[in-house]
């Protein structure tokens, strides 16, 4: 079992599809990169986990993006994920934090009212699939379930959790999606609803040492569960020095030289991973000479 991993399973004669992930290390890396406050860490962690779970249903060359835009202090969250277990993301205001509400971090209040945009980009398609729906709670899990029901027509239970310690580090993170597929009978539906209602919070299960398979065993209790796949997950960004240099060239020589006159060098920070790229004047001048 990988430290951070995702497991895919079926149950009830393949009339239930379920995925679960433990993402503690990945979410803690995101917190460190963006220096997020606890509420922002929980919001970003839930969205990263949701992206990975949805990514586990994609084809290999597809990329999925989740964008939450709201009127709360976070303002927005953006996450990319793929079928390879790679995810990256950021929150618009990383130090946004609200008082505890009902014993939990107030992610819904931090996001506020707004929209969820889901984009699925495919290499073989010129235009990506895009769905925009209003937020139902801002708590991330309920909004993803709302998207799956209304845009994909798949009834789904979604549970996401992040436990942040007093020192702001992420101690536990994970989630699951359980979906009813065509052919699911009334007894199957009722049993799954009962299981989901009785299941412990995901963050508690992970704190107790649960693996993704343990989470699915709890959610699919009473069903003949079959694991069909397992893979590691990690925080991974596609930025690189070469991409940054390409962007600088696209800006144009005149603008770049003007910037160099003011600053002496060019500093670019990737919004997805906070990696800082510093380009010295000599390198910029050589770059344009080559072009």
Q: Which residues contact 194 (CB under 8 A, 6 or more apart)?
A: none
- pLDDT score of 179 more than 80: yes
Q: How large a percentage of the chain has pLDDT more than 70?
A: 98
**Averaged pLDDT, 251-270:** 82
- pLDDT score of 1 more than 60: no
- At the fourth CATH level, which superfamily is domain 241-290? HSP33 redox switch-like (3.90.1280.10)
Q: How large a percentage of the chain has pLDDT more than 90?
A: 80
**Averaged pLDDT, 229-240:** 96
Tens digits of residue pLDDT in 149-167: 999 999 999 999 999 999 9
Token pair 């992206």 is found at 51
**Averaged pLDDT, 97-109:** 95
Tell me how far apart the alpha carbons of residues 118 and 81 are, in angstroms, rounded to a whole number: 11
- pLDDT score of 260 more than 90: no
Tell me how far apart the alpha carbons of residues 160 and 175 are, in angstroms, rounded to a whole number: 4
Tell me how far apart the alpha carbons of residues 291 and 271 are, in angstroms, rounded to a whole number: 27
Tell me how far apart the alpha carbons of residues 290 and 267 are, in angstroms, rounded to a whole number: 21
Write the DSSP assignment of 219-237 as a string of letters. Answer: HTTTS--EEEEEEE-EE--
Q: Which residues contact 24 (CB under 8 A, 6 or more apart)?
A: 3, 4, 170, 171, 172, 173, 174, 206
- pLDDT score of 128 more than 80: yes
The answer to whether domain 5-235 has CATH 3.55.30.10 is: yes
Tell me how far apart the alpha carbons of residues 121 and 111 are, in angstroms, rounded to a whole number: 25
Q: What is the pLDDT of residue 2?
A: 60
Q: What is the pLDDT of residue 291?
A: 62
- pLDDT score of 135 more than 80: yes
Poorest-confidence range of 102-116, 185-199, 222-236, 254-268? 254-268
pTM of the model: 0.94
User: Where are the domains positioned within the chain?
Assistant: 5-235, 241-290
Q: Which residues contact 117 (CB under 8 A, 6 or more apart)?
A: 65, 66, 67, 69, 130, 131, 132
Angle, nearest 10°, between helix axes 24-34 and 38-55?
130
């Amino acid at each position: 079992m990988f430290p951070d991993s995702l497991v895919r399973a079926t149950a009830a004669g393949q009339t239930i599809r379920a995925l679960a992930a433990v993402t503690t290390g990945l979410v803690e890396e995101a917190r460190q990169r963006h220096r997020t406050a606890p509420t922002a860490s929980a919001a970003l962690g839930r969205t990263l986990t949701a992206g990975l779970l949805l990514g586990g249903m994609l084809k290999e060359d597809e990329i999925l993006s989740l964008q939450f835009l709201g009127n709360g202090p976070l303002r927005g969250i953006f996450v990319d994920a793929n079928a390879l277990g790679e995810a990256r993301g950021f929150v618009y205001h990383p130090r946004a934090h609200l008082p505890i509400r009902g014993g939990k971090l107030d992610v819904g209040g931090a996001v506020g009212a707004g929209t969820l945009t889901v984009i699925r980009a495919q290499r073989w398609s010129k235009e990506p699939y895009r769905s925009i729906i209003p937020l139902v709670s801002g708590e991330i899990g309920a909004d993803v379930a709302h998207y799956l029901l209304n845009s994909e027509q798949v009834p789904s239970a979604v549970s996401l959790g992040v436990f942040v310690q007093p020192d702001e580090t992420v101690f536990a993170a994970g989630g699951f999606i359980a979906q009813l597929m065509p052919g699911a009978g009334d007894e199957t539906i009722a049993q799954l609803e009962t299981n989901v209602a009785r299941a412990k919070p995901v963050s508690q299960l992970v704190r107790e040492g649960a693996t993704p398979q343990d989470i699915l065993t709890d959610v699919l209790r009473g069903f003949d569960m079959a694991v069909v796949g397992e893979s590691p997950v990690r925080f991974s960004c596609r930025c690189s020095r070469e991409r940054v240099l390409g962007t600088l060239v696209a800006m144009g020589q005149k603008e770049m030289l003007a910037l160099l006159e003011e600053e002496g060098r060019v500093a670019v920070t990737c919004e997805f991973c906070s990696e800082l790229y510093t380009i010295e004047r000599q390198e910029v001048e050589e770059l344009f000479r080559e072009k």
